[in-house]
Amino acid sequence: MSRFIIFTDLDGTLLDYDNYSFEKALPALKLIREKNIPLILCSSKTRTEIEYYRRKLDNRHPFISENGGGIFIPKSYFEFIPSEGSLPIEEDTNYYVIRLGARYADLRKAIEELQNNGFEIRGFGDMTAGELADMANMDIDEAVMAKERNFDEPFVYKGPSRELPHLFSSITQKGFTYTQGRFFHILGNSNKGKAVSVLAALYRRQHGNIRTIALGDSPNDIPMLEKVDVPVLVQKQNGLYEPQVDMPKLVKADGVGPGGWNSALIDLLNKQT
């Protein structure tokens, strides 16, 4: 029997948009623990933010930060030292780190150039922790963690919508890419799908046959959803599904955020395990 591996977005998916709570997902989280299924957090959030939620969830599995920019694998998690082709492996005290994303300093330089070109954008690096906390409904500690970035720069855009294609074109001309979750993001040649593929290959090396599930709610989740066996789309805060997400075998969860996350996983795991 194939081993299940679950990848999940956080904001608006496992976490409620308003209060960042995963209380509505507790029954599915309990079932996942009982079945000993790895749950991989794959988010636009920073390493520090994800580590905060891993502690709250008592999660000790690898995780993917900043829209696929970095893969963090706890030491001794696999029976081998992780490596995947020519990808460089960095090592720190607690993790093997696979960097897929751009250097943050390069992203900040691009943001500043775009601002100088007249685009009305502000990145997280332009905001104080207090400003970010007020804008994103975070407490100050959460905002500080959200600013500790390495691979991806979220930004807000205040200009006319008709100028967005010009902004996106300018980003790509600089050699970067863009995506959208709760915020717009500028990033390098990385995305959640590439990171999921790398990590799934390591799980296959460890366990042989695996079956992958991913859950998300936004355009930045599309690459991740496209790379798994069972893609799951939860409803957004307004009760609707993200219209840009459309792919074969897509499962549409019956519920918003963590409520939909919970019902979809309970249904899938009870049917297929």
Q: What is the DSSP string of the chain?
A: -PEEEEEE-TBTTTB-TTT---GGGHHHHHHHHHTT--EEEE-SS-HHHHHHHHHHHT--S-EEEGGGTEEEEETTSSSS----TT--EEE-SSEEEEE-S--HHHHHHHHHHHHHTT--EEEGGGS-HHHHHHHHT--HHHHHHHT--SSEEEEEE-S-GGGHHHHHHHHHHTT-EEEESSSEEEESS--HHHHHHHHHHHHHHHHSSEEEEEEE-SGGGHHHHHTSSEEEEEE-TTS---TT---TT-EEEEEEHHHHHHHHHHHHHHHH-
Which residues, in sequence order, are bridge partners of residue 213?
6, 230
What's the CA gap between 48 and 51, in Å, rounded?
Answer: 5
Q: Which of 184, 164, 200 is nearest to 64 (CA)?
A: 200
Catalytic, out of 9, 11, 16, 217? 9
Answer yes or no: 18 catalytic: no
Give the catalytic positions in this structure.
9
